[in-house]
A and B are shown apart, each in its own frame.
Chain A
Amino acid sequence: MAQITLIEAVTQALAYEMKHDDSVVVLGEDVGVNGGVFRATQGLQEKFGELRVLDTPLDETTIAGVTVGLAVQGMKPVAEAQFEGFIYPMMEQIACHAARMRNRTRGRLTVPAVWRAPWGGGIRAPEHHSEANEHLFTNIPGLRVVLPSSPARAYGLLLAAIRDPDPVIFLEPKRIYRQYKEEVPDDGEALPLDVCFVLRDGTDVTLVTWGAQVKETLEAADELAKQGISAEVIDVATLTPLDFDTIAESVQKTGRCVIVHEAPKTAGFGAEIAARIAEECLYDLLAPVERITGPDTHIPLFRLEMKYLPSTERIVEAAQRTLAAS
């Protein structure tokens, strides 16, 4: 069985679903002959034709609105925003129409669509190519926000996103697109969209993260293990609707929590998780909740970007602080 990267898992999921469901179409800028600027749609146009893998005019608003129209007509469009930093023109169509279509028509019209976007920093890209803004979507009712962090989860969650009857924002951590390969059977098996993934069991501290920071967080857990500290690592790959129960269960066990994310701190999705811990697990806590995040600045141009992103060292230190507190 072939070993594949996260980006290849995206392609594999798209190809699988397009082969098995004629209503699945892919649209976006450069998704056709070029196969996408990251090659996520490589080879799909050859297999499925120019109409099902459609190079659109260069207008994000068009891509987003046409996606809504396709989905209402019973297609299952998978739209690509070429970079997360270019998704802003799509937000009106996503928030005002896709996310509320089912609710405002009492179920008469629905939008079973997926918006994919390469997300986050760390690849020395130009300005506007490194944004992490999942929190702008997690506050929109009616949307699912999904952020896979491994080839297997990218495959299974993308299949689930396409099959889901509601709109899904599917953000792909491009820093780890090609970080490593793993075996991902092309068996069409979807993963659930409503549970967190516990990547590592532990008893002393809970590390909660998602996206590319799963890499640094797992590294931190390894480092902490060397110091005799047992860290549990939770990947919140399906941010909304949130499976808080898995996080609560872990925090109740460890009494300590460090939340790690790349987006700016204030009103980032970590704030929601910290607030929920305060509401539901306060008396289980042995130390204040820590948040290791990007600062409340724009992600700098690439010379400084790795200093913006949460580092393994910062995560380790935060975990140590929670241990020192009690």
Chain B
Amino acid sequence: MSIAAKFEIEYLQYLDAEGKQVRQDLPAFAKDLDHMVELYKLMMSTRVFDAKSVALQRTGKLGTYASCLGHEAAHVGIGSAMKPEDVLAVSYREYGAQLYRGVQPREVYMYWGGDERGNDYQNEPARHDFAWSVPIATQCLHAAGSALAFKIRGEKRVAVCTIGDGGSSKGDFYGAINIAGAQNLPLVAVIVNNQWAISVPRKIQSGAPTLAQKGIAAGLYCIQVDGNDIIAVRKAMEDALERARNGEGGSVIEAVTYRLGDHTTADDARRYRGEQEVKDAWAKEPMKRLRAWLVGKGVWDDAREEAWKAECDEWMDNEVNAYLETKTQPVTAMFDYTFAEVPADLAKQRDLVLSYDQKAH
């Protein structure tokens, strides 16, 4: 028998569920314990932020919200590996990556709170990142197009897109990795496989044993990592970003994690998955293992945990207040930015809408 092609998919993990180091060849960033503490702190603030968001929704102060509970290692791992000049194209729950790049919690609240200004990220480098993309996997092509722009202009920048396990079923995802392979584009596509696409489980999303291997078909580097182990996510990201930056090809990274919360606040996951599965997933969640590892290294303890938690609470309270104090845009805002300049024909409609609004007051 002659073989036309063969492949294998590496699986990468440094910390197991208990925080035990399963391999000794730590990457350089992980030997910098101060930095690891910083990453842990951002994972924690992401979780505090997320809990605050859900509470805001439950008390009627936010619209539908997509929680990131359980994705902290994957998201912070992605964001922290990128350089400021890189570009991030997310779906709609990658807050850990976005907070790292300067998105403010108040902006997240504004978006889910019904105000377009939430997409107008004020801080660099998030200011040049894409806004949340609700239509599944469409953002992958925006990253591929960005990567093509970088290649045309000879810029050493990388475009990163993130999607879920469900998103990897869409043609947009395949289209993005396919053109990245065909044109050798600096693209890193991260499949954050959280096992559930609303109510549809991973096993009926695809017959492929790994989602990472989809990148093989596109001619990209592929790896599957423990998505609850931030060292593994960050290491795979760093390698992929470096290859892409040097013109050595794009990558697909599958970060295997678990969606501990509902799909969104409008969803009730108890309808379609068992309690035991969720309980088992909690045993493998990303914060506990990193905390245990840092405590073992002597750089973290309960007192520091409490102090940082208090700081996070204060930060989020400030952000919530800023959000709640933000006045609704004037009614004419729906016309603003439809075009660079409001066309004459549209201006007439704007005036009409404004007159109704003035009558109502």
Contacts and interface: CB of A to CB of B under 8 A. Distances in A.
B56 to A, nearest CB: 21
Contact of A73 (B117, B127, B149, B182): B149
A188 interface: no
Nearest to A71: B145
Interface residues of B, number: 46
Given A66-B148, A102-B338, A96 B176 contact: no
A20 interface: no
Contact of A70 (B89, B120, B145): B145
B140 interface: yes
B102 interface: no
Contacts of A131: none
Contacts of A54: 148, 183
A65 B183 CA distance: 15
A72 B145 contact: yes
Contacts of B138: 65, 92-93, 96-97
A110 interface: yes
Nearest to A49: B152
A108 interface: yes
Given A72-B146, A106-B119, A62 B337 contact: no
B281 interface: no
Contacts of A59: 171, 175, 178
Interface of B is mostly: helix
Classify chain A: how many residues form its interface, as a range: 35 or more
A46 to B, nearest CB: 17
B354 interface: no
B151 interface: yes
Given A57-B175, A104-B131, A241 B145 contact: no
A203 B337 CA distance: 40
Interface in A58-116: 59, 61-62, 64-75, 77, 89, 92-93, 96-97, 102-110
A69 B145 contact: yes
Contacts of A93: 138, 141
Nearest to B170: A61
A208 interface: no
Contact of B145 (A66, A108, A244): A66
Contacts, number: 139
B179 A73 contact: no
A134 interface: no
Contacts of B120: 105-108
Given A61-B172, A243-B345, A51 B151 contact: yes
Contact of B339 (A25, A102, A104): A102
Nearest to A194: B343
Given A103-B338, A110-B340, A241-B344, A61 B175 contact: yes
B116 interface: yes
Interface string B103-147: 000000000000011011100000100110111001011111111
A165 interface: yes
A142 interface: yes
A71 B159 CA distance: 14
B84 to A, nearest CB: 15
Contact of B144 (A62, A92, A242): A62
Contacts of B299: none
Nearest to B339: A166
A70 B119 CA distance: 19
B346 interface: yes
Contacts of A102: 337-340
A109 B89 CA distance: 13
Given A59-B175, A59-B178, A66-B144, A107 B337 contact: yes
A74 B140 contact: no
Nearest to B159: A69
B119 A241 contact: no
Interface string A44-56: 0000000110101
22 contacts: A57-B179, A59-B175, A61-B175, A65-B172, A68-B141, A68-B145, A69-B141, A69-B142, A72-B130, A72-B145, A73-B87, A73-B145, A77-B145, A89-B171, A96-B135, A103-B336, A105-B120, A105-B131, A110-B340, A144-B339, A242-B345, A244-B345
What 5 A-B pairs come out closest when comparing CB atoms?
Answer: A69-B145, A65-B141, A241-B343, A62-B175, A73-B149
Given A72-B130, A106-B119, 13 more contacts: A51-B151, A65-B175, A68-B141, A69-B146, A69-B149, A70-B148, A73-B146, A89-B171, A92-B135, A102-B340, A104-B131, A164-B340, A241-B344
